[in-house]
Every structure is written in structure tokens, then in C-alpha cells.
Amino acid sequence: MTQAVSSPLHPAAEQARVAVNVVFLLNGMLFATWAVNIPGVRTALGLTDAQVGGALLAVGLGSLVSMPLTGSWIARTGSHRVTARLAPLVMLALALPFLAPNLSALVSMLALLGFLNGALDVSMNAQGVTVEKALGRPIMSRLHAYFSLGGVLGALLGTLLVGRVPMLAHAGGVALLSALAALWAGRRLLPDPAHFDDSAAAAARTGPALSPAVLLLGALCFLGMLSEGAHYDWAALYFHDVLKLPGGQAGIGYAAFVATMTLGRWFGDQTRARFGDEALVRGGALLSALGLGLALLLPSPALATLGFALSGLGLSNVVPVMYGAAGHALHGRGIAQVATIGYGGFLLGPPLIGFLAYRFGLAPSLGLAVLGAALVAGLGGVAFRMIRTSGQPEQASEQAQQSR
């Protein structure tokens, strides 16, 4: 459990909590603004689904390059400084893809956006851990709820603006205002405790050791985040291409998904305390598979919107709870490994669906997200039993140290 801090630090920690909430919110708006404009970018550049998939892959590859490098940067300078420097840059980089005159330029600009955002993802989560420890109470689920809330706001704004104003004006306005808000938040973040740097240095010396528990939990996180990414990047195109909804109306499925995901994460801590980790993950994954399956098998706008809403509610706590379970049972190195493996699904899943859609159609290809959620529901029990077993020796050691 986290320990309460002395009163002099508490006001600064509360201020940092608000600031890091803002960063997560802005990051969610960034993804939503891009997502609701994907159909417009595709039309403007005359791209196929496979080319859209390749462009999305550039985002993932850029992030995969930067994420392993960010840990040492944080260890040297602190997550507060890294987040403060990156957040405004990431927000401004949102406008870059909308300046692309062709596919090659789009790929390059999305790769740069992915590089910057991957580093920000690591640093803002590290800052969240710092603030959580300073406050002495959990806040990570609520932080991810703010990311989802940003997605809701971005999707709603997109519904109002897409098709009514130029894409560059829409994205550029969001980018500029978000960068200003990120500058405000960056001045209020919290320095990391000194022992974080020591832990990072020790991890770098010992190197990674992937246990079967980490591999299985990471694989399930991969599948869970693949399903999330499929909704984020392909919902608007599904409603536009398959359900034939025009303009901003195509964002309704995306809005339904992120709205219920936000709601589920907002109350995730209470739900987790009542039902437990394993039941929440397996039940949520099953609900997601049923919801998205409903949307794909009964393709009417009303039923599809309901299906995406159910899927968002189901997926809302799947990955956060698995991350939390890894952190409690396997400690820092375990959760870092699980998060790294899992994030690959978020980054690589949507491009894979794009390539499959080019060959088989979008609706059948989104069945991959249904399969991923179903596998999480089926194998979640095994994963939780394994991490409970893996965590027992470390928990015993920690209890022994506390009793001295």
C-alpha cells in the first residue's frame, strides 16, 4: 500500500494530481481528434484501407522506438520534467498529419507523432505513479478515465466540426489550445522520489527477466489493447463505410465506446473492490466480445451503437486492472514488462486490421477484436493464478522487511 505523506507535500501533490489529470485528458482529445478525421484524411489523399493501415503502423513504430528510451531519460531528469517538455510538443504535433500532401509525408508525420506520444505515454504514467505515492491513495484508474473523457470531448467536438470546417482548422485549433493547457500543467507536476532513480538504474543493470506469468499476462494485455485500438481507430470508418453514416455522424460509435469506457474507469476502483480483479477482467472482456459481436452481426446504426457502448464498458477496466495486478504481485519490473508487451497490441493491432480489411472487408476484420476479448475472458483465470503464485515470494520478502 502507498504511505501517506506529511502535510507540507500534500498541497503540491494535489496540485500535481490536477495537472496530470489535465495531461491525460489532453492526450485523449488528441487521439479522438485524429480518429474522427481518419475518413477525411483517407478521402483527401485517395488512400485505400491498406494504405491507412500502413500509416497507422507508422504511429506504432514511432512509439516503439521512443518508449524504451524514455525510461533512462526519466531516471536522469525526472518524470515531471520529461512530461512538461513533451506534452506541448505532442499536442502541437497533432496538426502535422493534416499538412501531409501525400502518403509518404503522412507516414513520416505520423511516425513523428507516434515517437513523441510514445515517450509522453511512458512519462505521464510514471508521473502518475509519483503523484499516487505522494498522495497515499490510488489515482491511476481515474487518470485513465480522464484519458477516456478526453476522447469523449474530442469525439463530440468532432461530431460538431467534421464536414463543417476544414480538417486543418479543426486539428490546428485543438493542437494550439491543448499545447497552452499542457504548458500550464507542466509547471505543476511533482518531482520523483530519489529512490525511483535508484530503481531504474538497478533495473538497467540486471536487465529484463520474462517469467511465464509476465508473458501470459502481457499477452492478454496485448489482446485487450488490440481490442481497444480497433475501436479507437476503426469505429468511425465502420460507421462511415459499413453503416453508411455521413460526415460527423460517423463518430457516434466512437463516442459511444469512449463514453462507456470513461464511465467504467471512473467507477473502476469501487467495482474492483466489490467483485475482485479476476471477475472484473474476465466479465468485462466477455461483455466486450458480446457487444462488438452484436455490432458486427446486426449492422444497424442503433444496434451497432449499443454494441460499441457495451464493448467500451466491458473493456474499460480490463487493461488497468491487469496492470495493477502485475504491479502488486510482480512489482516495478513486472508491470513495466507487462505494459510494454501489452502496448504493442494497441499500436500494432489497428494496422493489422487495416491490412485484413483490404483483403476481407472491415466488418469481418474487426472480428479479430472480438476474438482477442474472448481469449482474455477465457484465459484470464489462468493468468491471475500464475501472477498470484509468482508474487508470493516477493510479497513475503516485503512483509519480512516491514516487520524489522
pLDDT at 291: 96
pLDDT tops 90 at residue 375: yes
pLDDT at 364: 92
Higher pLDDT, 214 or 278: 278
pLDDT tops 60 at residue 204: no
**Segment 289-329, tens digit of pLDDT:** 999 999 999 888 999 999 999 999 999 989 878 876 765 56
Q: pLDDT band at 85, cuts 50/70/90?
A: very high
pLDDT at 330: 55
Q: How far is CA 344 from the centre of its chain?
A: 11
pLDDT at 30: 93
pLDDT at 142: 85
Residues 170, 33: contact at Cβ < 8 Å? yes
* Comma-separated ranges of CATH 1.20.1250.20 domains in the chain: 8-200, 208-404
Could you please state the CATH topology (level 3) that the domain comprising 8-200 is classified under.
Growth Hormone; Chain: A; (1.20.1250)
Q: Report the distance separating Cα 134 and Cα 148, nearest Å.
A: 24
pLDDT at 324: 65
Average pLDDT, the chain: 83
Higher pLDDT, 292 or 74: 292
Q: pLDDT band at 192, cuts 50/70/90?
A: confident
pLDDT tops 70 at residue 99: yes
Query: 224-261 burial, b if ≥16 CB within 10 A, otherwise e?
Result: bbbbbbbbbbbbbbbbbbbbebeebbbbbbbbbbbbbb
> CB atoms < 10 A from the CB of 152, how many?
23
Query: The C-alpha cell of 358 is what?
Result: 483490404
**Segment 27-57, tens digit of pLDDT:** 999 988 998 898 889 999 998 888 888 888 8
The one-letter code for the residue type at 223 is: L
Q: Which of 302, 299, 287 is nearest to 364 (CA)?
A: 299
In this predicted structure, which of 116-130, 200-214, 242-256, 275-289 has the lowest mean pLDDT?
Answer: 200-214
Please state the pTM of the whole predicted model.
Answer: 0.75
pLDDT at 390: 65
- The residues that bridge with 68 in the sheet, in sequence order, are none
Tell me which of 3.30.70.560, 1.10.3720.10, 1.20.810.10, 1.20.1250.20 is the CATH number of domain 208-404: 1.20.1250.20
Contacts of 331 (CB under 8 A, 6+ apart): 394
pLDDT at 258: 81
pLDDT tops 80 at residue 332: no
